[in-house]
Amino acid sequence: MPDFSLLAVVVTALYGVALFCIYRILLSYRTAQGAIGWVIGLIGMPWIAVPLFLVFGRNRFSGYVRARRMNDQTLDPLLSQYEHQAEGIPYPDFPNGVDELRVLSKLGRQPFTGSNHCTLLKNGEATLEALFDAMESATDYILLEFYIVRSDRVGARILNILRRKLAQGVRVYFLYDDIGSLLLPGHYLKALRTAGAKVTSFGNGNVRRRRLQINFRNHRKILVCDGRVGFVGGINLGDEYLAREPGEEVWRDTHCRVEGPAALGLQLAWLEDWNWAADANPELNWQPRRAETGDQQVLILPSSPADRWETCTLFFLNCINNARDRLWIASPYFVPDVQIINALQLAAMRGVDVRILIPEKADHLLIHLAAYSYLVTANECGIRICQYQPGFLHQKVVLVDDRYAAVGTANLDNRSMRLNFEIAALTTAPDFVADVEAMLEADLARSRQLERADYEDRSLLFRLACRSARLMAPLL
């Protein structure tokens, strides 16, 4: 005979946990749609929804928030010092856009700085060679933070460079994401540690504080050398960006090299993550130095689920709402929420040239399908969604009019908006903006514009799959 008393206790306990989860949702939800979905699931199917919520339901990286507050005693003086030093470095005026830039500076908790030089690195080969050269030239320290690190040809070359620099007395700090670099073998990390590098994963140093928060990822790709030069963009450390054979398709991606005071902005973001992961505050250079050439105005804009605001969402909304003539966005994933798609529609309706560049060949089927569900809405108001044809497009680039451009790590999806740690470099420099424009024009020339028929004329099963994928997108 079944023990009904024990079963009643288990069911009561399960619903008690479900009610506690609902209590947490009501106190902290960011979107009504997500909250309603979780509440319905927790009430109707608690045996499934409760474990899913414990793993995927949190929208604030609470341990990081607490660590940030504790570490403010260390980080705030560095930020104040950085801001004070940046004030003494003049940067060019930005007519009719002061409020727009002030908002972005507040979002990123960092200042715009002048006397920088940004170089657009338009593909994997150019980026990786620039990364190798910067590490070879380092004399004091090398700071790395990447979502994905592989032990392939690229990984082997980096390992050799870092070993050589460590032997020369250069300090190396190596931070990687647990999920993104899940396949990185232990012998690779052991070799780095044996050579003298400080190595940690984003969650490894704080497992107790991070438990049940595996849905959060550190998606940043940062390199800083000596506090003088930094790199940020969409490129991870792997062979997928380099052709092995003639004619082989490689991932299409973009990075940015930053020389000047803004490199300290990348360093500050790296330090906050390192402080969380390793509980350490290494001695670094915080004296800004002007770039040898160029006088570009640059903002480093980090975003994360530990922020007071939804920084990444507000960044995109600010760009969309302030665009006057043109808004071009390149992203491998296009699954915007309601407020983003509404803002894009309004921009197109007021005559802005809105183009979204996505890949035709996808690395994530559900997100690829979800993008098709926006075609009808996009076409009706004049938004142009274009699929890049030659290979997988992985770049994350934003171009607003002829006024500013951003290169970073954030995609147009829920994960980047609310769950990932992301970062971007934004500049108003006319020559950099022109380089981004020319690059995107070349990419668009190799793309096909999607029409509503690409969705409406497909089978009912395909359309249902697209709509279902769109519903699931916030969980992906």
Active site residue 219: yes
What CA–CA distances, in Å, run from 314 to 307, 309, 335? 12, 8, 16
Helix (H/G/I), strand (E/B), else coil: 260:
coil
What sign does the dihedral 179-181-187-191 (CA atoms) show? negative
Catalytic residue among 221, 253, 273, 307: 221
Q: Closest Cα partner for 273 from 140, 179, 145, 420?
A: 145
Give the whole-angstrom CA distance, residue 416 versus residue 129.
27
Q: How would you class 166 by CB atoms within 10 Å of its CB: exposed for 0-12, middle for 13-18, buried for 19 or more?
A: middle
Active site residue 457: no
Q: Closest Cα partner for 285 from 139, 454, 72, 113?
A: 139
Catalytic residue among 122, 165, 177, 226: 226
Contact 347, 320 (CB under 8 A): yes
Catalytic residue among 273, 401, 413, 443: 401
Q: Closest Cα partner for 474 from 19, 109, 64, 41?
A: 41
Q: Is 271 left (phi over 0), alpha (psi -120 to 50) or beta?
A: alpha
Task: Tell me the β-bridge partners of 141.
Answer: 171
For residue 30, give the DSSP letter. Answer: S
What CA–CA distances, in Å, run from 177 to 128, 274, 277, 394? 19, 11, 10, 18
Active site residue 165: no
Give the whole-angstrom CA distance, residue 161 versus residue 141.
13
Catalytic residue among 117, 122, 219, 255: 219
Catalytic residue among 337, 368, 396, 413: 396
Active site residue 401: yes
Task: Tell me the β-bridge partners of 218.
Answer: 421
| Residues 6+ positions from 291 with CB-CB distance below 8 Å | 115, 116, 117, 259, 260
Per the structure block, which two tokens stand in for 329? Answer: 């966005």
Active site residue 122: no
Catalytic residues: 219, 221, 226, 394, 396, 401
